[in-house]
Chains A and B, each alone.
Chain A
Amino acid sequence: MAGEHPMTLSDAPQGVPERPPGAAFRGPETASRSLQERLAGHFFRLCAALAALAAAAVAVTLASETALFFAQVSPVRFFTELAWTPVAEEPRFGVLPLLAATAQITAGAAVVAFPLGLLTAIYLEYYSDPRADGILSAALVVLAAIPTVVYGYVALDFVTPALRNIWPSIEAYNGISACLVVGIMILPTVALLSRSALKAVPPSLVDAGLALGASPGRILVRGILPAASRGIAAALALAVARAAGETMIVTLAAGNQARLTWSPLEGLRTLTAYIAQASMGDAPAGTLEYRALFAVATVLFAFTFAVHALGGWLAGGRARQGSVRQ
């Protein structure tokens, strides 16, 4: 943070020239004016300090409780044991079933959302008329604005019963319903961000393709999509991070049995669902069970952070690539 020096124009933001010397240009230097100036500076600095404090508090809390957890449970057991039974008589803390469930549901959601979202983006950018664009864009905004608990309700009460018509043996809590609905939930993210990636492709690319006599389909597949691929990958990365952190849909639709299974018709329990259900506010502080919440939250934090970083790197790469092109 900046030191406690009086406000001078030399520390004005970059792009702002030095104020011309001489008091003639300034308004009257009244006491109230300089007091206001000082108070405002203090207020904004305080706000920034509070924001930084809040961020630090989140990080330190997670880290310290997780450290206490790993003092009792070895990280090797945490990442290699195949059972997660924190409240059993002999509790076992193998995070793999939770991690696998998160990976499965996230992958399933990506399989739903990626083709649908990308094709919708292509439709919006290259094929729609203004009216269809308006309706579809509005639908995407509405889908993006719906709280995830509402999606969860629809998954449990509409999608699972509908799937029972196809697979009568489906369990009340199952992976496939969660995959489908999480996929729909991240669909706006994929579609809207992919569309901006397509928008960023220089029109000259299309003109060049047309001049060479390529068909629109060929221009799309061989020209536009490769040029936009990093942006589209970044869109997918952000959507995947959201899917992995999604809590309410999986808690309601996929259930709370921590198990390793490949069947999409069976229930499973993700990292997020464990946090939501195990806590409910009454895990006694200081117990191993309470600290396990933080360890799981840290794993989730690390996973989404890594995916976000990947997305940011891809998006940054796209910007660099674009500037080289021009």
Chain B
Amino acid sequence: MKAFRHQGAIAGVCSLAAGVTLAAGMTLLAVLLVQARGVLDFGFLLGAPSRFAAQAGVGPALAGTLWLTLLTAALACPVGVGAAVYFEEYAPRTRATRAIESAITTLAGVPPVVFGVAGLALFARGLGLGPTVLAGGLTLAMLALPTVLATSKEAIRQVPSGVRTAAYALGATRWEVIRRQVLPAAAPAIVTGVTLALARTAGAAAPLLVIGAASFINYAPGTPGDPLTALPTQVFAWSARSQPGFAAVAASAAVVLLALLLLLHLVSLALRRRLSKAAR
């Protein structure tokens, strides 16, 4: 499409739009970093929330988000990937299975806050868990599940059918084909999908707010039964406070959250590298 380059008013308008997009991203990060400067230090990372902006910290919220992410991963990954294997490798291609599949994947487009309402009724009230880390983890797992399932299904479908045929021809059973051929070949793409889902749930504030995440927990949750607190809801609580000083605290918590997400993506990248090497 080189013929298009540097021609006329349309090129100008499009470059302008691209510039605005880039500027929006830069401004966003700059606002956060400028506000967080001076607040973000080790004391902030480890300290507990406080009535005084100068003493506030994200320790419990950070621990809560780590707990929630672990729980979500532990619940949503096996079920999501396992269900994807079932639908792609086992399930008969009937109208019924297709309807079930599309019903589950439809949930991937449902707003997170709706999952919060469902989680409130099912886990916080229904199972009597109350606003605990476990109720939050179960709710976030439901939120992550459709994404994990849809991306894993796509990953499994991308494995060429010749790989399966060849393995069957060599006398492998279905489980052996899945374990030795299909899953290793699909693993990098599955990891990508899981990372996407986990990053989305780690940053989700709305469902946790609906369940009743607290913003004044001053000890780090040690078990899943402890009261629910998380970084995104902490950012929300501090943003909503009008006292001077809390804007900087909210920005700092937001930077911690972004750093955590970056870390998640980096771990995922390293894992994908290893997996695609192993598959070769």
Contacts and interface: CB of A to CB of B under 8 A. Distances in A.
Interface of A: 1-2, 7, 9, 11-17, 19-20, 25-27, 33, 36-37, 40-41, 43-48, 50-52, 54-55, 57-59, 61-62, 65, 115-117, 119-120, 122-128, 132, 135-136, 139-140, 142-143, 145-154, 156-158, 184, 187, 191, 203, 206, 210, 215-217, 220-221, 238, 241-242, 244-248, 251-252, 272, 275-276, 279-282, 285, 293-294, 297, 300-301, 304-305, 308
B55 interface: no
B4 interface: yes
Interface in B1-24: 1, 3-11, 13-18, 20-22, 24
B60 interface: no
B194 interface: no
Contact of A128 (B18, B27, B204): B18
B122 A147 contact: no
A299 B113 CA distance: 12
Interface of B: 1, 3-11, 13-18, 20-22, 24-29, 31-32, 35, 78-83, 85-93, 97, 100, 103-104, 106-107, 109-118, 120-122, 124-126, 131, 142, 145-146, 149, 161, 164-165, 168-175, 178-179, 199, 202-206, 209-213, 232-233, 235-236, 239-240, 247, 250-251, 254, 257-258, 261, 265
B42 to A, nearest CB: 22
Contacts of B79: 47, 50-51, 54
A148 B145 contact: no
A247 B112 contact: yes
Nearest to B9: A217
27 contacts: A13-B161, A13-B164, A15-B161, A16-B168, A26-B173, A41-B90, A44-B86, A47-B78, A51-B79, A51-B149, A52-B104, A61-B121, A126-B1, A149-B236, A149-B239, A149-B254, A150-B235, A150-B254, A153-B251, A154-B28, A157-B239, A157-B247, A210-B3, A220-B10, A252-B236, A280-B210, A285-B125
Chain B binding surface SS class: helix
Contact of A217 (B7, B106, B146, B173): B7
A143 B24 contact: yes
A7 B177 CA distance: 14
B203 A54 contact: no
A187 B175 contact: no
Nearest to B20: A116
Given A14-B93, A41-B90, A215-B8, A149 B161 contact: no
A120 B165 contact: no
Chain A binding surface SS class: helix
Across the A-B interface, the 6 shortest Cβ-Cβ residue pairs? A281-B212, A245-B111, A147-B203, A47-B82, A119-B17, A247-B206
B246 to A, nearest CB: 10
A326 to B, nearest CB: 19
A245 B110 contact: yes
Given A136-B22, A147-B232, A48 B142 contact: no
Given A127-B15, A220-B10, A297-B117, A281 B124 contact: yes
A139 B202 CA distance: 20
